[in-house]
Structures are given as structure tokens and as C-alpha cells.
Amino acid sequence: MHGRTYFFATRLLQPRQRPAVHALYGFARYADDIVDEPDPSTGIDGVRAALTELGDALQAGLATGHTDHPLLAAVVDTASRYSIATPLFTDFLHSMHMDLTVTDYPTRADLQRYVYGSAEVIGLQVLPVLETVCDQEEAAPAAAALGEAFQLTNFLRDVAEDLQRDRVYLPADELADFGVDRELLEWCAQYRTVDSRVRRALIEQIAFTRSVYDRARPGIAMLHPRSRPCAATALSLYGGILERIEALDYNVFAGRARVGTPRRLGLAAKAVTGTAFARVATSPAPTSRRPA
């Protein structure tokens, strides 16, 4: 999740859950910013060194259960408290390293290897914090799918922004089926318009992304009742970005597709009601006392 969507969704969690989610989100954003927002004077070797240093510090902290690193302290505590597997962090950092050298993805399978580390593992990291009403292994595929769906939505919304970083996060072979290549995408970005071939390709990409949301949706019922409003709201808000892209006639080059504030507030109000019912439903029953 990013920005306002993250704020809306996490406010629906119980206060005791938020620090862990903030720690995991903060770590992911910090690593992502090392790659996407480097100091102008830092070359690719400097960025790689910073990522490696971060990964080494995290590995040491996870191994010992302690770190003096100001950002990683909360992550190490969260990983220990919720038994989050170390490979989930290792795979995430591997995808961050991929961004330093990989600029295109020839096939869906190639992209999927990146998405697993950059997004699916986030869903798996957060899952124990949200808690489940079933075995976590049963809920894991849906949690991973939700992370994937969010990431694929980002890719569709941010085509122009990613091009500025010399990256295309859409499978080249699937684009080629509609006569689309990087050159055509760059032309659309330059003129802030959408070519009919790109429009058809985006229609297909949105359909695929919705199929991933469909795989993720059953996982909401597997979460603890108090966590369902957060996940459901995030799913609805991010799914709404796809609707906004369609409403803009698929022109993702003229500006960022956003879900409007009225819908955000409406979903938030509905979720708050759901959260209140969940808290009542999961609260211990009051004990009866005899009058003195």
C-alpha cells in the first residue's frame, strides 16, 4: 500500500497491531527509496552498496534478535514477536537489487519472479500480524495474491512514472500481442496520450490483475474479524484504481489515476462500523456479579 491508501487502511487496525505493520511498511519504503530516490551524486554502485549494507544489518539483527540500527530495531522486534521468516526479507531485498539492473520483463514468468519478492512477501510478512481464523498456511496464498494485486495495480497506474526510471513492469510478450513495445509506450508518455494499441493491451492487463484480486478476496474471511475491515478496505481502494484507469479511457500517461475522496471516506465509514462490530464480537463477555 502507498500513501493515503495505507493511512486509511491501517487506521482500521487495532492500536496494538499498528506498530508492527508500520515497522514492516517503513522498512519496505526505506529500501524502495534507496533504489528509486537515490542521492543524485550516488551512482549505481553506491545504491547497491547501501542496499547490501541494509541487508547485512537486517540479517545480523534477525539472527541475534537485536540491532542498534534506528529503523531496523522495530523490524527485528516485529519479526521476532510474530515469527516472520527471514527469507521473506531476503527475497524482498533481492527484488530491490533487481531494480538496479533489470529494466524490462520479457514474459509474465520473468515479472512474477520480481513481484514475488517485491510484493507477495509483504502480504506474507503482514499475515501473522493480522492473525487468522484458520491455519496460516491455508491463508498464505491469498495473502500473497493480495500483495501481488496491489503491485500489479501500481504497475498499471505508474507506467509513465516507471518509464522515467527506464523501467517497464509489463510483460513484453503480452504487450507485443497488441503491437505495443517500449518505443510506443515512450511516445504515449511524451505526448500524454494513449494509443489504441496500448489501450487494448491495458484492457487485457487490467483483466489479468482483476483475476489476481479474485484469488486474494477469499483470504479476507480467513483473517481475524478485527483485521478484515483493514484488508477489505485496502482491496476496495486499490481495486478502485483500476476503475479510475478505465474511467480515464486508459490514459495512464496524462496523470496518476486516483480514487476520489468521497469514495475513500465512504469505505472508511463502512469499515469503521465493521471494525466496531468485530471488536464487540471478539470482546470477552462481561462476568456477572452478585449485588453487594
Distance CA 167, CA 154 (A): 13
- Mean pLDDT computed over 80-98: 98
Residues 6+ apart with CB under 8 A from 15: none
DSSP string spanning 68-88? --TTHHHHHHHHHHHT--HHH
Residue 195 confidence (pLDDT)? 98
Read off the pTM: 0.89
Residue 279 confidence (pLDDT)? 47
- Mean pLDDT computed over 217-237: 96
